[in-house]
């Protein structure tokens, strides 16, 4: 794709309606004209300017460059006061740790996300997906359903709530807090912070309950986890729950939604899957291509440059914030043949949607499995699955660093 300098509005604002209307064109412009460029991230009540890199080789290199850290000094910048409930869902989480702190925490929490353990969850996910789809058929009476809100979200939320061990009575409050955490500032900041405080309180209660009454869940496993005599304290446990929810929930339900959107956009690829219901390799490959083509998360957490460096002739002074744009890297023609083509059999497919290096997504195996099983259920049992609106009516939420449809109305048949 060739993009002219005047084809996008400058400065680029990620989070704007214009960007959300055609992110691919903006990524292509950045790759061609500003491989190390400045953009504005607009979160509504909060906005900032920072650097982004957009070419595959640069993104991959930056993800392992020791001169870029998530939390230099292990916390917020000096002189910045952060309330405890905000710290627990931000700088205290696993993906904001560096060096020895990150290695220590990762070694203590990796066990629940091993491929073998994830594989055992497959039948539970299939049962949940089939039950939810049956309920939707009964409830909808043939009317369109929002696949994102009414299928992908409840299935993946139930899985992570079960894995974490959230009690049934606490689930509505827990989900409200999680939704606030994932959506960022929207509406009143006081309301947003209130929901985060409630989420922290529910999670602290969860940790206390699991200490007293261990169960077959991740939190119990984290409480009991030990590495060379080291254990997680209560504050680390609370922050870790938020890391796990981000890794195993938010990414996953959008990956499922994006997968159906991509397949409905490409009926030839949907037909390939329908013709091969038992070809597990093809289904796994299809999920990887969805992750490359429409990644739920389009960029990493901002990293801080800890010493002056130069990239493509651009000087980045110490203290600068930089984001590798994974979605832009995934369509770099220098790495991928025909990057604008959606090909469920693409091989090799070294996309960066789950990151690279020490911060490779903890929940990648869970997201892949849930997406594969959910897509198998939908494609296999809904032969007449189709959009309920014109394709032009689908819109992405103007939310920086995410590919998230506002809704995905479909007829499930």
Give pLDDT tens digits for 265-317. 999 999 999 999 999 999 999 999 999 999 999 999 899 999 999 999 999 99
More confident residue, 41 or 325: 325
Q: pLDDT band at residue 2, thresholds of 50, 70 and 90? A: very low
Check whether 26 has a pLDDT greater than 90. yes
DSSP string, 336-348: SSSTTS--TT-SS
Taken in order of first residue, the domains within the chain and their CATH numbers are 5-411 (1.10.630.10)
Q: What is the pLDDT of residue 177?
A: 82
Name residues whose C-beta falls within 8 Å of residue 226's C-beta, 6 or more positions apart in sequence: 108
Whose CA is closest to 251, among 97, 395, 127, 355? 355
Judge whether 165 and 219 are in contact, CB under 8 Å.
Answer: yes
Per-residue pLDDT tens digits for 321-353: 999 999 999 999 999 999 999 999 999 999 999
Helix and strand element counts for the chain (H, E): 18, 11
What predicted TM-score, i.e. pTM, was given to this entire model? 0.91
Q: Average model confidence (pLDDT) for the chain?
A: 88
Distance CA 75, CA 78 (A): 8
What band does 6 get if pLDDT is binned at 50, 70 and 90? low
59-63, 109-113, 161-165, 195-199: segment of lowest average pLDDT: 109-113
pLDDT confidence bin for 232, thresholds 50/70/90: confident
pLDDT of residue 100: 83
pLDDT at 44: 67
User: Does the pLDDT of residue 1 top 50, yes or no?
Assistant: no
Q: Which of 79, 7, 15, 57 is nearest to 328 (CA)?
A: 57
pLDDT category, 102, cuts 50, 70, 90? confident
Name the phi and psi angles at 73, rounded to 5: 85, -5
- Count other Cβ atoms within 10 Å, centred on residue 77: 12
Does pLDDT of 77 surpass 60?
no
Give the tens place of pLDDT for each residue, 366-396.
899 999 999 999 999 999 999 999 999 999 9
- Mean pLDDT in residue range 68-78: 73
What residues have CB less than 8 Å from 366, skipping those under 6 apart? 113, 118, 121, 159, 247, 248, 252
């Amino acid at each position: 794709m060739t993009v002219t300098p005047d084809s996008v509005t400058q400065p680029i604002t990620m989070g704007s309606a214009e960007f959300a209307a055609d992110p691919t064109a903006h990524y292509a412009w950045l790759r061609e004209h500003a491989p190390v460029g400045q953009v504005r991230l607009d979160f509504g009540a909060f906005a900032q300017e920072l650097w982004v890199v957009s070419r595959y080789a640069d993104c991959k290199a930056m993800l392992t460059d020791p001169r870029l850290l998530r939390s230099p000094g292990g916390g917020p910048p000096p002189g910045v006061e952060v309330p405890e409930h905000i710290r627990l869902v931000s700088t205290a989480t696993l993906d904001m740790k560096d060096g020895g702190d990150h290695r220590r925490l990762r070694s203590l929490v990796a066990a629940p996300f091993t491929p073998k353990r994830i594989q055992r969850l497959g039948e539970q996910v299939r049962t949940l997906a089939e039950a939810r789809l049956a309920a939707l058929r009964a409830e909808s009476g043939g009317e369109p359903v929002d696949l994102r809100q009414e299928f992908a979200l409840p299935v993946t939320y139930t899985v992570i709530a079960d894995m974490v061990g959230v009690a049934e009575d606490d689930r509505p409050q827990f989900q409200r807090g999680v939704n606030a955490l994932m959506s960022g500032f929207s509406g009143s900041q006081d309301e947003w912070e209130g929901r985060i405080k409630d989420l922290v309180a529910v999670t602290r209660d969860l940790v206390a309950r699991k200490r007293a009454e261990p169960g077959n869940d991740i939190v119990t496993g984290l409480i009991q986890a030990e590495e060379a005599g080291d254990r997680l304290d209560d504050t680390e446990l609370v922050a870790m729950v938020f890391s796990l929810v981000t890794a195993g929930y938010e990414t996953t339900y959008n990956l499922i939604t994006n997968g159906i959107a991509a397949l409905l956009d490409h009926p030839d690829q949907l037909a390939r899957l329908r013709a091969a219901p038992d070809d597990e390799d093809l289904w796994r490959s299809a999920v990887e291509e969805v992750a490359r083509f429409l990644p739920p998360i389009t960029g990493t957490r901002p990293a801080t440059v800890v010493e002056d460096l130069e990239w493509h002739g651009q000087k980045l002074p110490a203290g600068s914030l930089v984001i590798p744009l994974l979605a832009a890297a995934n369509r770099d023609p220098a790495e991928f043949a025909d990057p604008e083509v959606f090909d469920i059999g693409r091989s090799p497919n070294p996309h960066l949607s789950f990151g690279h290096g020490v911060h490779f997504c903890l929940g990648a195996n869970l997201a892949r499995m849930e997406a594969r099983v959910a897509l198998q259920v939908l494609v296999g049992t809904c032969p007449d699955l189709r959009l309920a609106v014109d394709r032009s009516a689908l819109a992405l939420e103007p939310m920086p660093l995410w590919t998230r449809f506002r809704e995905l109305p479909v007829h499930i048949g």
